[in-house]
Chains A and B, each alone.
Chain A
Amino acid sequence: MTKNFIALSLGLSLSFFTISSFASTQTQNVDAKVTVQNTFKLEVKQTLDFGTVRAVSKASTTAALSVPANPNLQISTTAAGGSDPAIMDILDSASAQPAQLTIAEATKYTPLTIELPDVGTTPVELATTGPGTTPVFKITAFTLYATIGQNANQDIAITTNQGTITTDGSGNAEFNLGATLTTDDIDGEYVDGDYTGTVSVTVSY
């Protein structure tokens, strides 16, 4: 019996060394994730206002008023020619201002595309309540100027109705939107009052 027990012990001992020298494989799972944040904030800080004007609409000619996006430039008018011209005279420009739009929570140092309506083809109209023959005003051109961002304090070139602004190191940007307001192309009397309209501006990566 004693001999048998010793033999068993040796056998176990051999097994021990064999097992410990086997290669071992193990798998470990690791969680992975990514967070998408495509949306950013776009807010209107101030609206576009052309001030108070005296205006006459003529079928044969147009007059215009420009509120520039660039704060270093003055509001200006473009008179119509001819003996009985359209009129666009500034009465009070105190409230006149370009629109100002702010961008926040975007990625930093990233160019964003500002897309404007194609007013060269389809002007944005500013209308009022009154007789159906009342002429409208038409926004026929835009200008852009960056106030916050990598290209701050510079005009933004507009090509095929699009401009580009680049966010700053905090993912913020801000720009002015100026516009040219033109008299209608019909013979008509403007009634006193506010003429309003909406300009759709899209900003995207």
Chain B
Amino acid sequence: MIKGILIFSLVSTSAFADVLESLDFGTIVVARNDRVSTLKLPTNSAISSTNDIHIMERGHPARLFFEALPANTLINFSSSSINEELSDNSSTFIINQLLFKPTAQTNAYGEIELVVGAILQTSGDGAVYNDGEYQGSVSIELSY
């Protein structure tokens, strides 16, 4: 009976994730949208833009903290989020790439932190981006 209880306890244990910071591209100006412009938010926060996106306030990559993982174990990270949209219900931006390390090793306590950057792009179809906040979400898969 004692062993039965132990088994139940171990099987129910899984990685616990905490989003320390969400993905924030900051505040930008989209001067024109008759061509595709991009905003790159790498994991080191060296944000940059192309064409008609001007950066007004810098954003920051997402930071995820995972715990209750096996200690000193190689963890694989991936994402099935492809072309996720950030929308204000009229116009949309596309997140066409997430930027993160595909593998990393947990520490002796079974913990690991993942930084997730991304590349955002405009539609380039002439649609107007009104002032406001454009929201969406992406997902990260962890496996080991």
Q: How far does the Cβ of B36 sit from chain A's closest Cβ, in whole Å?
A: 15
In the assembled complex, A24 has its CB within 8 A of some CB on chain B: yes
**Chain B interface mostly helix, strand, loop or mixed?**
strand
CB contact between B54 and one of A9, A29, A35, A110 (< 8 Å): that residue: A110
Complex contacts, A27 vs chain B, CB 8 Å? 139-142
Q: How far does the Cβ of A39 sit from chain B's closest Cβ, in whole Å?
A: 6
B side interface size, CB within 8 A: 55
CA distance A27 to B133 in the complex (A): 25
Q: Are A38 and B30 within 8 A (Cβ)?
A: yes
Given contacts A15-B7, A16-B10, contact A35 B144 (CB under 8 A): no
Q: How far does the Cβ of B47 sit from chain A's closest Cβ, in whole Å?
A: 11
Q: Which 3 A-B pairs have the closest CB atoms?
A: A205-B31, A34-B25, A32-B23
Given contacts A16-B3, A205-B29, contact A29 B144 (CB under 8 A): no
In the assembled complex, B19 has its CB within 8 A of some CB on chain A: yes
Residues of B at the A interface (CB closer than 8 Å) are 3-4, 6-7, 10-11, 14-15, 17, 19, 22-32, 39, 52, 54-57, 59, 62, 64, 66, 84, 86, 88, 93, 95, 116, 118, 120, 129-144
CA distance A32 to B26 in the complex (A): 10
Given contacts A26-B14, A39-B131, A107-B56, contact A32 B118 (CB under 8 A): yes
Q: How far does the Cβ of A108 sit from chain B's closest Cβ, in whole Å?
A: 8
Q: Are A28 and B139 within 8 A (Cβ)?
A: yes
Query: Can you spell out 27 A-B residue pairs with CB atoms less than 8 angstroms apart?
Result: A13-B3, A16-B3, A19-B7, A24-B144, A26-B17, A27-B139, A27-B140, A28-B19, A28-B64, A30-B23, A31-B136, A32-B62, A32-B95, A32-B135, A33-B23, A33-B86, A33-B134, A34-B39, A34-B59, A35-B133, A36-B28, A36-B88, A36-B129, A37-B28, A37-B56, A38-B31, A110-B29
